[in-house]
Structure 1
Amino acid sequence: MATGPAHPQPADPAGHLVSAQDAQQGEQGGLTVSVDRLRCAGTGLCVASAPDDLALSDGRARPLRARTDALDEVVEAAELCPMEAITVRRAATGEQLAP
């Protein structure tokens, strides 16, 4: 089993889509959150809505964990994003819930 930092950021050489899903295996939850860092404007509105699930890194949002059950918080974060850079999906089905 590989070890690493508590909140690793997935390798993203192009600076594009970032998801914590592959970075942290074994976490349980019904939702996945991904951020398109090319679209993200770094307003921080998402972090204010879902501080347990999203953080700003290098001026752009990124997910903090692979999965979450914080439906209201992450959907609100995605809906508040002026750039529609955040996508929330059901982990089991891939159904997009927001934006």
Structure 2
Amino acid sequence: MTSTTRAVLHVLQEAASRRDATYGLEICRETNLGSGTVYPILTKFERLGLVHTYWEDESDVRGPRRRMYELTAEGSREAQRAAQRVAAPARRLGWAR
């Protein structure tokens, strides 16, 4: 898994920990990645069943509606596995506990 994919997954995981959904431009801001990088990752996550997407309710919107993204149960499990894979080499090298 690439670092950009992990970054997007991390933002989705943070939103899930707040029991919230997030939208694409917010993910771009949080990761400092461009939309041309973030949206293909989100599309792939959706195809794999890792995220659920929906359009923001029109009554909650002042501007254009946003497409909201939230992790599915499988997406949460994958995010945890990805975090463990990243932490494992650091533990082996003594950089983390």
Q: What TM-score do you get using the length of structure 1 for normalisation?
A: 0.31
Structure number having the greater helix percentage: 2
Q: Which has the larger radius of gyration?
A: 2
Q: What TM-score do you get using the length of structure 2 for normalisation?
A: 0.31
